[in-house]
Amino acid sequence: MGTMDPTFNPVITDDSAAFSEKAVQAMEKERQGMQLSESYKLLEEMTDYRNSPSCKEKQQCSLSDAKDTFSAKYQQEPGVSGPLKSRQLAG
């Protein structure tokens, strides 16, 4: 396949520390506005999260208590780790 059109390529093209910091702050601010505690608690119940590999092997047993971490690194897509990243549910 060919190269992705830069207009639609979601990687960060600004290498400055100021941009990275501003982008991470914007993602954190947006996340703070989300009220996800009740949704996370319901999701924990529905998925039997206490018996998941994340809980048993990594001792990450609460989605609502965990913290999301954001990244904005040059030439990479913006990133998130923590409960907001749905893959954590799978372990």
Residue 5 lies in a domain: no
- For the chain, the domain total comes to 1
What predicted TM-score, i.e. pTM, was given to this entire model? 0.76
The CATH number of the domain where 52 resides is what? 3.40.50.1240
pLDDT score of 4:
75
Per residue in 67-84, pLDDT (tens digit) is: 999 999 999 999 999 888
**Whose CA is closest to 14, among 61, 73, 58?**
73
Residue 83 lies in a domain: yes
pLDDT score of 87:
53
Residue 28 lies in a domain: yes
* Domain around 83: 17-90
Residue 9 lies in a domain: no
Cβ atoms of residues 54 and 88 within 8 Å: yes
Residue 11 lies in a domain: no
Residue 71 lies in a domain: yes
pLDDT score of 86:
65
